[in-house]
């Protein structure tokens, strides 16, 4: 514990001060003409210091040990050269150019190398420009960038390659790769994976959700190619030139892979490899923050002495200046120093969602304007409606008065229509009373009248007087209280009684036949329904009487031969529609469409001296019973004439049909 404390104190506090003092001593010795510190003496000092910092008991006293971090998979293929490995070339050169310093290579996976840099386990490392930018928050500093004779620009040295199996004709562009399976070495590797994903983002897709899944091979490039060839993955990601290097080592792979989004032009010709992405700064040699400056100077001097003529690929050291594009790529992918963008923050939320927030604000502003305008319109409309409502109330009062007046007129007309019905009904009790009165007079003339017969005559008179009084009371009650349309009525019985009354009173000139085998229950007022049936039957009979005599005689003769009555009445129930239909049809002249149209208009009569009140009364009764009235002209082939239909709503009174039928025969037809 105490050792780690002093190590931390030395690295964080004393070493920076020591660096500054050494640097100042070098400057002053140069300016004042003093001889430079002997390299061997400096090395001995650095050896002790580095050993103290590293705490490595195996450090040799004959030289300073320097740990160089390298990636453990890059030896499988070269960077630009098709002959040599860049890591091995740089390592060999440093080992030969730094006497007194022991360059110790340490190989890591990408993730482990980053951890080693953070923990101070290496003094220098050779990695991608993306890895260097990712490590900059930990105080690393670039010493140089490896370039070659083919690519002397250190800002554009490395690219990525995206490839598929050559037989996959369905994969031609980046868009075709969506929702497929990808394979790559390591999600932390800048050259073999991150550059390729940057191209996905550049094409306008979300790199986090573009692929269905990604298979990583634990930093094994050859396994990426094998996954694509075996069909385990649809697309693979590697660094440019890796594909060609592995195809040379595996001739059986040649011709089986195809590059997606392949770039062409002078750069591709100079590179000698296929690639799919933009180019970025190449391999970066960097020093960590705990490395002494004098040691950094020695290593940097040795690195800069790399002669391109001594390497087959023409490697040399330059200095990259455009790390901004690397920075932008990491920011787009939200990795490395920009991994915090994946965490929810107000700033990040505003940055990602500002278009939607602006749209929401615009919609809210538009809604407020709309609300203000709507509020103004509502006030104006409310004022207009209040004025209209006042006018409507005045009109409603006037309409109610007119309706009351019309109801009274309707009631008077119905009472007038009922007079003939009541006269007929009163005729029966009056006739019986007249007969009983005569019988009583005959009995009273006898010296010893039969007391029993006298009592029967008196009882009969009382009964008939009561019956007549009931009839008159019904007339008075209807005239005073109006109709009661909520009663359950047998429509068949009402029609049958109305027909019988007209036939007995000889109000019908022509024969009428009723077709109503079953009782049909509806709700209504028996008085008004009886008036309706009487008017329909009288109109049918009068239509026949209005025909010329010769035409009527011929029509009646033809109907007689066919066994068809001149007036036909039908009452039936339409179960599918839950309606009851009353139809009255009469044979006669064929009606034109104009005549039928005039007939259906309220208040219009086709008779010479008719006022149209009968049809008006029928229409009024139908409407008050919520029924439907329709007219249909009968074709000449069927005998001509008119068919009038009234459709009522049916009442489900199956269990009471017989009971109502019996009662309706006695009193349902009474007004």
Both tokens assigned to 194: 């991150």
Does 509 have pLDDT greater than 90? no
- The reply to whether 372 falls in a domain is yes
Give 167-218 as a DSSP string: T-TT--SGGGGTT-EEEES-TT-IIIIIHHHHHHHHTT--TTTSSSEEEE-S
Is the separation of the CB atoms in 595 and 606 below 8 Å?
Answer: yes
Query: 521 and 603: one domain?
Result: yes
What range does the domain containing 108 cover? 43-50+61-151+286-318
- What are the helix (H) ranges across 446-490? 451-481
CA distance 119 to 289: 11
Burial 592-628 (b: 16+ CB within 10 A, else e): eeeeeeebeeeeebbeeeeebebbbbbbbbbebbebe
User: How would you classify the pairing of strands 284-287 and 257-259?
Assistant: unpaired
Query: 610 and 492: one domain?
Result: yes
Query: 497 and 619: one domain?
Result: yes
pTM score of the predicted model: 0.47
Query: 295 and 268: one domain?
Result: no
Residue found under tokens 């990808």: 182
Number of domains in the chain: 4
Does 10 have pLDDT greater than 80? no
Does 229 have pLDDT greater than 80? yes
Confidence class of residue 58 from pLDDT cuts 50, 70 and 90? very low
What is the reported pLDDT for 412? 62
Query: 272 and 304: one domain?
Result: no
What is the reported pLDDT for 45? 40
Query: 496 and 572: one domain?
Result: yes
Is the separation of the CB atoms in 53 and 10 below 8 Å?
Answer: yes
Query: 227 and 208: one domain?
Result: yes
CA distance 335 to 341: 8
Q: What is the mean pLDDT of residues 544-552?
A: 87
What is the reported pLDDT for 599? 72
User: How would you classify the pairing of strands 213-216 and 257-259?
Assistant: unpaired
What is the reported pLDDT for 424? 53
CATH of residue 227's domain is 3.40.190.10
What is the reported pLDDT for 46? 44
What is the reported pLDDT for 141? 94
What is the reported pLDDT for 440? 82
Query: 299 and 355: one domain?
Result: no
Query: 448 and 508: one domain?
Result: no
Average the pLDDT over each of 7-11, 520-524, 567-571 and give the range with the smallest value. 7-11
- What are the helix (H) ranges across 490-584? 491-504, 526-545, 549-562
Element (H, E) at 127: strand 124-127
Does 161 have pLDDT greater than 90? yes
Enumerate residues 6+ apart whose C-beta is below 8 A from 670. Answer: 425, 471, 474, 526, 527
- The reply to whether 133 falls in a domain is yes
Both tokens assigned to 461: 């008179």
């Amino acid at each position: 514990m105490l050792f780690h404390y002093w190590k931390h104190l030395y690295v964080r506090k004393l070493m920076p001060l020591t660096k500054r003092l050494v640097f100042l001593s070098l400057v002053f010795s140069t300016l004042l003409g003093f001889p430079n510190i002997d390299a061997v003496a400096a090395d001995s000092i650095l050896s002790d210091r580095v050993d103290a910092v590293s705490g490595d008991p195996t450090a040799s006293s004959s030289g300073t040990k320097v740990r160089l971090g390298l990636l453990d998979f890059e030896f499988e293929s070269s960077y630009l050269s098709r002959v040599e490995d860049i890591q091995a070339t740089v390592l060999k050169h440093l080992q030969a150019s730094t006497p007194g310093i022991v360059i110790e290579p340490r190989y890591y996976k990408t993730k482990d190398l980053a951890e080693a840099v953070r923990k101070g386990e290496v003094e220098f490392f050779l990695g991608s420009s993306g890895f260097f930018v990712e490590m900059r928050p930990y105080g690393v500093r670039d010493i140089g960038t490896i370039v070659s004779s083919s690519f002397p620009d250190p800002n554009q040295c490395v690219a990525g390659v995206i490839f598929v199996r050559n037989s996959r004709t369905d994969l031609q562009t980046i868009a075709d790769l969506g929702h497929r399976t990808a394979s790559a070495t390591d999600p932390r590797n800048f050259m073999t994976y991150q550059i390729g994903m940057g191209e996905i983002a550049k094409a306008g897709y979300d790199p986090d959700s573009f692929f269905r899944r990604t298979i990583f091979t634990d930093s094994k490039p050859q396994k990426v190619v094998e996954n694509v060839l075996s069909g385990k993955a649809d697309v693979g990601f590697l660094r440019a030139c890796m594909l060609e290097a592995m195809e040379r080592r595996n001739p059986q792979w040649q011709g089986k892979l195809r590059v997606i989004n392949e770039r062409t032009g002078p750069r591709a010709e100079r590179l000698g490899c296929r690639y799919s992405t933009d180019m970025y700064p190449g391999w970066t040699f960097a020093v960590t923050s705990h490395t002494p400056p004098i040691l950094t100077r020695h290593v940097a001097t040795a690195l800069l002495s790399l002669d391109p003529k001594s390497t087959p690929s023409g490697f040399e050291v330059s200095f990259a200046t455009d790390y901004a594009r690397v920075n932008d790529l990491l920011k787009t992918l939200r990795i490395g120093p920009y991994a915090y963008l994946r965490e929810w923050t107000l700033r990040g939320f505003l940055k990602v969602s500002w278009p939607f927030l602006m749209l929401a604000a615009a919609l809210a502003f538009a809604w407020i304007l709309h609300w203000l305008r709507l509020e103004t319109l509502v006030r104006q409309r409310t004022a207009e409606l209040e004025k209209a409502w006042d006018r409507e109330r005045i009109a409603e009062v006037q309409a109610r008065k007119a309706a009351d007046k019309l109801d009274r007129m309707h009631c008077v007309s119905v009472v007038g229509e009922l007079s003939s019905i009541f006269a007929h009904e009163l005729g029966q009790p009056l006739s019986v009373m007249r007969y009983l009165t005569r019988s009583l007079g005959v009995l009273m003339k006898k010296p010893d009248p039969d007391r029993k017969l006298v009592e029967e005559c008196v009882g009969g008179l009382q009964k008939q007087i009561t019956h007549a009084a009931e009839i008159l009371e019904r007339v008075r009650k209807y005239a005073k209280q109006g109709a009661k349309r909520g009663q359950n009525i047998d429509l068949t019985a009402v029609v049958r009684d109305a027909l019988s009354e007209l036939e007995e009173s000889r109000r019908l000139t022509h024969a009428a036949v009723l077709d109503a085998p079953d009782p049909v229950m509806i709700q209504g007022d028996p008085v008004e329904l009886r008036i309706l049936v009487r008017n329909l039957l009288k109109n049918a009979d009068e239509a026949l009487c209005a025909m010329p005599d010769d035409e009527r005689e011929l029509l009646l003769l033809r109907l007689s031969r066919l066994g068809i009555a001149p007036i036909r009445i039908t009452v039936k129930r339409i179960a599918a529609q839950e309606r009851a239909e009353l139809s009255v049809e009469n044979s006669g002249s064929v009606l034109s469409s104009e005549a039928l149209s005039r007939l259906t208009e309220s208040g219009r009569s086709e008779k010479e001296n008719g006022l149209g009140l009968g049809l008006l009364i029928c229409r009024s009764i139908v409407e008050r019973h919520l029924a439907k009235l329709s007219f249909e002209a009968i074709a000449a082939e069927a005998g001509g004439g008119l068919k009038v239909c009234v459709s009522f709503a049916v009442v489900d009174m199956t269990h009471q049909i017989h009971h109502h039928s019996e009662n309706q025969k006695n009193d349902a037809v009474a007004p």
